[in-house]
Amino acid sequence: MNIIEVKNVSFAYNEEKQGLKDVNFSIDKGEWIAILGHNGSGKSTLAKSLVGLLEPQQGEIYIDSVKLTEETAFNLRKKVGIVFQNPDNQFVGVTVKDDIAFGMENLCVPRETMLERIDFFAEKVGMKEYLDKQPSNLSGGQKQRVAIAGILAMRSDILIFDEATSMLDPYTKNDLISYMKLLNKEGFTVIMITHDVNEAILADRIMIMNHGTISAFDKTETILKQKELFIKSHLELPMALKIANEVKNNKIRNSLWEYVLKM
């Protein structure tokens, strides 16, 4: 079943800056999608449109079969949680605890449940010992972790990460990704906007954006086989495939593919 459907969506910030040009696609419930694209390709514009922060000048967006409009946006936002690249843009609380609570307060989550979830998700992102600290004194990566905990605590059906792991160290990142995989198995839909191709290959399908349009949207393996598409879209293949594409020995080439696909 489609949980997201985007039909003929266009958005321009102004004459100088086009965001999206006639974008069409749909995403099934429980899918893990990665969106790759150069800077300025329209990825963030798309993400903001999906949560109703930007209103497309043309086209329609359906979330769980309900058309996204000014009237429905408030309720639909409960279904879609988004974490932005710069966590400073979404900090409101005086302490880390308040901050994680904020989204849940808006959803009127009962206090008991809220306190449980704060503890649980702070632990999940490795920030439990910081609950009483001021967000402003945290490092960039720690702020990202708090922002992620806040969104996870809302238990939205759809989770959008807009470059939200860019400042995490590899260890924290891997931890978080394993947890996201669990959520995905439970039926949460995950959309990861990223420049890290090693993160993108975890997806069921990869969307490649280029100058406001979708150049390709297909199964991860199918996308990875299109070397030219990556070059054309100014993107990078995973290291193992860069190597696989150049080594002469077939056995090695095949096992490098295995290495990538089992990641």
Would you say 36 and 214 are in contact if contact means Cβ atoms under 8 Å apart?
no
Neighbours of 125 (CB within 10 A): 23
Q: Least CB distance from residue 86 to another protein, whole Å?
A: 5
Sign of the dihedral defined by the CA atoms of residues 236, 242, 198, 2, in that order? positive
CA nearest neighbour of 3 among 69, 74, 65: 65
Q: Least CB distance from residue 156 to another protein, whole Å?
A: 23
Residue closer to another protein (CB basis): 86 or 226: 86
Binding footprint of another protein on the chain (CB under 8 A): 13-14, 16-17, 37-40, 44, 85-86, 88, 95, 132-134, 137-142, 144-145, 163, 166-172, 195, 197-198, 234-236, 238-240, 242-243, 246-249, 251-252, 255-256, 259
Q: Least CB distance from residue 238 to another protein, whole Å?
A: 8
Residue closer to another protein (CB basis): 76 or 206: 206
For the chain, how many residues are written?
263
Residue closer to another protein (CB basis): 108 or 248: 248
Q: Least CB distance from residue 245 to another protein, whole Å?
A: 9
Residue 167 backbone dihedrals phi, psi, to 5 degrees: -105, 10
Neighbours of 72 (CB within 10 A): 14
Would you say 148 and 164 are in contact if contact means Cβ atoms under 8 Å apart?
yes
Residue closer to another protein (CB basis): 50 or 241: 241
Q: Least CB distance from residue 38 to another protein, whole Å?
A: 4
Residue closer to another protein (CB basis): 79 or 133: 133
Q: Least CB distance from residue 166 to another protein, whole Å?
A: 4
Contacts of 169 (CB under 8 A, 6+ apart): 141
Q: Least CB distance from residue 263 to another protein, whole Å?
A: 10
Contacts of 30 (CB under 8 A, 6+ apart): 3, 184, 187, 188, 189
Residue closer to another protein (CB basis): 63 or 256: 256
Residue closer to another protein (CB basis): 104 or 200: 200
CA nearest neighbour of 28 among 250, 243, 204, 212: 204
Query: Left, alpha or beta for 180 (phi > 0: left; psi -120 to 50: alpha)?
Result: alpha
